[in-house]
């Protein structure tokens, strides 16, 4: 039988095309919450893992390079012709977890260390179980926040992958790796990160003009982030607090899945599963 097989030779472009077609046969379906259906994705390749490895040295505060690379990999590995940018950060979490589980290993060791001590334990996690838990536990619905005088209507929802990507492109692409040198710089940086997080969740702002009574609608998704931040700075504090409550509620749902606890020597130690470059390089 082997004698009847026709052998072919080709250049590197031909070889890579054949390999890409072959890899498509190994696509795995991943359930996408916002679409309410599964989509096929290819496994992470060795070349893609190498790109992720380069992002390990990225800033631990912003994680910008990793966000760029994962965004590219999700687009590259999605077999369907779907606009990936419309997917939410929850969709991204599920995709990232499943790509890690399928491409590298379903097992991941999470280390818990007692502060100011050498005491530690390692807990083995199953990534697919975490993805299943996320699908079951995280249900963040869009809301409209109004003030008492009905002057403002703030439309909030989970950020999309494009929201997250644009934030990094517009505000942090050219920022060098940040080294936190003192407590004040840490507070300033964390405060900036949190403010930027808030505007990602705001989709639209409607304002009733007190002069003519007309309602003016502003679609923040079409605006630059610096303009979004300017609008956020003029929103009344009471409304802003309600926006923060919504975001905190969403983050609490994510914490049900990504925040783990262990008791070491009578002390409760918390450790968050970080979806970063290191997540895709650990075996």
Residue 156, both tokens: 């909030």
* Angle, CA of 121, 126 and 127, to the nearest 5°: 115
- 87 phi and psi angles, rounded to 5 deg: -70, 155
> 204 pLDDT band (50/70/90 cuts)?
very high
Per-position DSSP letters for 56-88, written without gaps between them:
GGS-TTT-HHHHHHHHHHHHHHB-S---GGGSB
pLDDT at 101: 96
> 173 pLDDT band (50/70/90 cuts)?
low
pLDDT, tens digit (0-9, with 9 covering 90-100), for 97-132: 999 999 999 999 999 988 877 788 899 999 999 999
The CB-side HSE value for 152 (13 A sphere, CA atoms) comes to: 21
Residue 89 has pLDDT above 90, yes or no: yes
For residue 198, give the H/E element and its range.
helix 183-201
Residue 216 has pLDDT above 60, yes or no: yes
pLDDT, tens digit (0-9, with 9 covering 90-100), for 146-163: 999 889 999 999 999 999
pLDDT, tens digit (0-9, with 9 covering 90-100), for 37-85: 999 999 998 899 989 988 887 555 568 889 999 999 999 999 999 999 9
In this prediction the pTM is 0.83
Question: Which residue from 52, 54, 55, 67 is spatially nearest to 193, judged by alpha carbons?
Answer: 67
Question: Which residue from 1, 28, 210, 233 is spatially nearest to 131, judged by alpha carbons?
Answer: 28
């Amino acid at each position: 039988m082997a004698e009847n097989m026709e052998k072919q030779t080709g250049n590197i472009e031909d070889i890579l095309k054949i390999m890409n077609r072959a890899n498509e046969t190994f696509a795995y379906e991943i359930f996408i919450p916002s679409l309410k259906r599964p989509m096929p994705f290819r496994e992470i390749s060795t070349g893609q893992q190498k790109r992720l490895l380069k992002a390990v040295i990225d800033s631990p505060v912003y994680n910008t390079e990793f966000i760029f690379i994962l965004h590219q990999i999700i687009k590259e590995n999605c077999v369907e012709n779907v606009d990936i940018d419309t997917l939410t950060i929850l969709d991204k979490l599920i995709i990232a977890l499943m790509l890690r589980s399928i491409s590298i290993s379903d097992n991941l060791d999470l280390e818990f260390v007692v502060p100011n001590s050498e005491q530690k334990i390692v807990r083995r996690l199953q990534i697919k179980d975490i993805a299943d838990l996320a699908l079951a536990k995280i249900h963040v619905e869009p809301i409209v926040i109004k003030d008492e005088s009905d002057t403002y209507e703030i439309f909030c929802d989970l950020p999309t992958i494009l929201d997250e990507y644009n934030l990094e492109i517009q505000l942090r692409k050219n920022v060098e790796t940040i080294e936190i040198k003192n407590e004040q710089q840490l507070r300033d940086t964390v405060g900036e990160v949190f403010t930027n997080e808030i505007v990602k969740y705001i989709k639209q702002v409607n304002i009733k003009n007190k002069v003519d009574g007309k309602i003016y609608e502003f679609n923040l998704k079409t605006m630059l982030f610096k303009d979004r931040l300017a609008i956020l700075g003029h929103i009344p504090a009471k409304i802003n607090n309600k926006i923060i409550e919504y975001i905190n509620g969403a983050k609490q749902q994510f914490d049900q899945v990504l925040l783990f606890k262990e008791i070491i020597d009578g002390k409760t130690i918390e450790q968050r599963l970080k979806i970063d470059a290191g997540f895709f390089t650990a075996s």
